[in-house]
Structure 1
């Protein structure tokens, strides 16, 4: 079971199935049962952990996923394909432009009206879990550099989105709680560097870091990223830890998160599609993300010393820029903060996010499936040996191919 869950295709499929079940349940006559389950509060209130199940999934279980992402991202930057700074800067810049351009698209659709403009940040966030899941399912033969690009872009995108929430959508930040989180975080990283492996020591430090970040008012998933980045990669410890944690993340944490976050009730669809807020979100996710990511990538690769990875073609970046339009969890959170949970406009936000994410995923699937078939054909040509001489046919000269 654990080995199966380490295959990204399996984990991605589980996430998508959980999301489909949630959407289907939320649009049946039994939708109230789903809503009650989603808003059921459990946990000790004395330390600020009396949270709904939906909150536990998005801030708690998803933090485990972000921990694994942090491990993988650090490995890519220090020992993987992104250790070349000229390559690493490209997805970082693409993430920044991929945040700015959708906000502009949204504002243009609103006509810069004051009231609806509160939702300007809704289409700026890429949902890393859903985007990676779709890529894993549809892109089985795509180069690994494309996943590294998406991983970096989505993490930077999420960090920018969390910063936006902290500055524009949070009433107050508990600075003392945030500063206190540095202590267990530093202790966790120090012990990992000293070779301490005991879960009885490391897990309490990780949990304390997460609790303090959660109570600071900042999205708690950032604790997962920081903990992952604090693990040393020089002795392959990060790789071993990622190997152990991935089945838990892919088999439990991410599907449960998808189940509790994807249950959007599509009611009042007619009114929603006439609301500029809905239209702005769809335009931002589908068009803004594509233009922002692709444009930022082209600009930094064309006008600076940074360069696109040698294994990637521009059509790959087109597909990835469309895939970046899958915005779910953070987008829905910003919508609630902007217009109020349960309000009419909040309902329109949910429809807009669901519709924009679906269209982006379908367009990305068309492009990336075609690219996957191209890479598969190239791979088969590289290993093909019709004459059985032990030399791949791709090394034959044109004259040899003609004679044969």
Structure 2
């Protein structure tokens, strides 16, 4: 009589190297989240004190007209600076699946499926709320599908410092995959006029960029002009220019070559570039975009009620708060229910619920999709901003309460692991798991 195969553990403890890397990412994203919050508050205060001067700054046009790059500052932030953010997303995603714990398909499957579920459910909630509304309301179906990495990880770092690293890795990977899917949605569903020749032409600088980085040539005076050329051509094609950032990130090698000593010799080029570019992304690119994207004149309590009375706004709030929770938690439970996998014994489903609610913080990419769906500066775009801010705030507060209550329960486990150290400084629990 054969013994049935053992059941896998969902969200099991990862490797020690992954644990330390995720802790470092959380520290950096906490700073980025704080800057993002400051930029958002500054934009809201300015827009409500002197909306005309704020709009004048946002709509100031700069850039060469001959290259069709005479864009407003708001557009430069959305198309240009966010390309830097998505370059980091591409690097992060590739590193996770090539050299991280998620190179194991069994570990990678859950956050990928959860990201898909976390996009489908909010879209369905939004459509259900706006079905029969008429007009262009359904163009906003993708707005509540994105999770903001900086804000979500910042909240997790503040309220969940003792939560298991597996939860943090799950949220980080889910958010990164979520952003990749969002870029795909933008390219497919929010590209109206497509010019094939510039798009095909973009393959040339992207190919040269890939050739250089694959040969470990990373001189900035070679790579930056190629990246800019790729961005310009993708922008000219009609596809949102942030797609160029993701494609360039995917070309960068993660593992060191044998000539450079192989993986044992240290981090590869992708990790080096991530360390260089992430501060620019988190410390400048994303906060500046948030400043130009989140400034909306609310008009007091009455204005807030009017904005949230719009079915589009209601669909966004419901999608972020309810849809994300149902999508992420429901997909995770379905994987556990219909495969040979159980939740890791060290975790509780309440932990997964907290992370699922936290995934409802949709800010950067949600605001971007809102502008693409309804047009920057339109009345409905203002309603979108109010809804994204409201839904993200509600999701963040609910998740904070849930995860804070669980954080205390894990503090004792973390302290036990710290005591259980060898001379090598690595907790024995990680060595037993390896």
1:150-185 Cα shifts (integer Å, max 9, x gaps): 233223323333333344333222222222222211
1:100 aligns with 2:155: no
Question: 1:266 maps to which residue?
Answer: 298
Contact 1:122 1:335 in 2 (8 A): yes
Contact 1:142 1:371 in 2 (8 A): yes
* Matches of 2:411 and 2:28, distance apart in 1: 18
The change in CA–CA distance for 1:227 and 1:165 in structure 2 (over 3 A counts) is closer
Question: 1:17 maps to which residue?
Answer: 38
* Matches of 2:393 and 2:161, distance apart in 1: 20
The change in CA–CA distance for 1:322 and 1:14 in structure 2 (over 3 A counts) is same
* Matches of 1:349 and 1:374, distance apart in 2: 38
What SS does the aligned partner of 1:7 have?
A: helix
1:206 aligns with 2:227: yes
1:316 aligns with 2:316: no
1:276 aligns with 2:308: no
The change in CA–CA distance for 1:178 and 1:369 in structure 2 (over 3 A counts) is farther
Question: 1:400 maps to which residue?
Answer: none
Q: Which of 165, 168, 189 is the equivalent residue of 1:168?
A: 189
1:27 aligns with 2:40: no
Question: 2:415 maps to which residue?
Answer: 380
Contact 1:322 1:363 in 2 (8 A): yes
Question: 2:105 maps to which residue?
Answer: 85
Q: Which of 309, 334, 359 is the equivalent residue of 2:369?
A: 334
1:237 aligns with 2:257: no
Question: 1:70 maps to which residue?
Answer: 90
1:3-35 Cα shifts (integer Å, max 9, x gaps): 99973322222222222222222222x222222
User: Which blocks of at least 5 consecutive residues in structure 2 are unaligned?
Assistant: 1-23, 257-267, 429-434
* Matches of 1:211 and 1:304, distance apart in 2: 46
After TM superposition, the structure 1 stretch with the greater mean CA deviation from structure 2, 160-169 or 118-127, is 160-169
State the 1:357 CA deviation.
1.2
Instruction: State the TM-score, normalized to the length of structure 1.
Output: 0.86
* Matches of 1:232 and 1:331, distance apart in 2: 30
1:191-228 Cα shifts (integer Å, max 9, x gaps): 11112121111111111112222222222222222222
* Matches of 1:58 and 1:343, distance apart in 2: 16
Contact 1:86 1:305 in 2 (8 A): no
Contact 1:130 1:326 in 2 (8 A): yes
* Matches of 2:389 and 2:231, distance apart in 1: 29
User: Which blocks of at least 5 consecutive residues in structure 1 are unaligned?
Assistant: 396-404
* Matches of 1:66 and 1:117, distance apart in 2: 26
After TM superposition, the structure 1 stretch with the greater mean CA deviation from structure 2, 119-128 or 307-316, is 307-316
* Matches of 2:102 and 2:233, distance apart in 1: 31
Question: 1:156 maps to which residue?
Answer: 177
State the 1:320 CA deviation.
2.0
Instruction: State the TM-score, normalized to the length of structure 2.
Output: 0.80
* Matches of 2:361 and 2:387, distance apart in 1: 11
* Matches of 1:355 and 1:314, distance apart in 2: 26
Contact 1:326 1:356 in 2 (8 A): yes
State the 1:81 CA deviation.
1.8
Question: 2:6 maps to which residue?
Answer: none
What SS does the aligned partner of 1:46 have?
A: helix
After TM superposition, the structure 1 stretch with the greater mean CA deviation from structure 2, 345-354 or 287-296, is 345-354
Cα RMSD for the two superposed structures: 3.0
After TM superposition, the structure 1 stretch with the greater mean CA deviation from structure 2, 123-132 or 54-63, is 123-132
* Matches of 2:108 and 2:244, distance apart in 1: 23
1:250 aligns with 2:270: no
Question: 2:400 maps to which residue?
Answer: 365
State the 1:312 CA deviation.
5.7
* Matches of 2:400 and 2:324, distance apart in 1: 16
1:276-302 Cα shifts (integer Å, max 9, x gaps): 222121111110111011111221243
State the 1:307 CA deviation.
7.3
Question: 2:66 maps to which residue?
Answer: 46
* Matches of 2:63 and 2:248, distance apart in 1: 23
* Matches of 1:175 and 1:127, distance apart in 2: 31
Q: Which of 155, 172, 183 is the equivalent residue of 1:134?
A: 155
The change in CA–CA distance for 1:7 and 1:348 in structure 2 (over 3 A counts) is closer
1:38-71 Cα shifts (integer Å, max 9, x gaps): 2212111222222222222222222222222322
Question: 2:168 maps to which residue?
Answer: 147
Contact 1:63 1:225 in 2 (8 A): yes
1:61-114 Cα shifts (integer Å, max 9, x gaps): 222222223222222211112111111111111111111111221222234433
Q: Which of 152, 177, 182 is the equivalent residue of 2:198?
A: 177
After TM superposition, the structure 1 stretch with the greater mean CA deviation from structure 2, 172-181 or 80-89, is 172-181
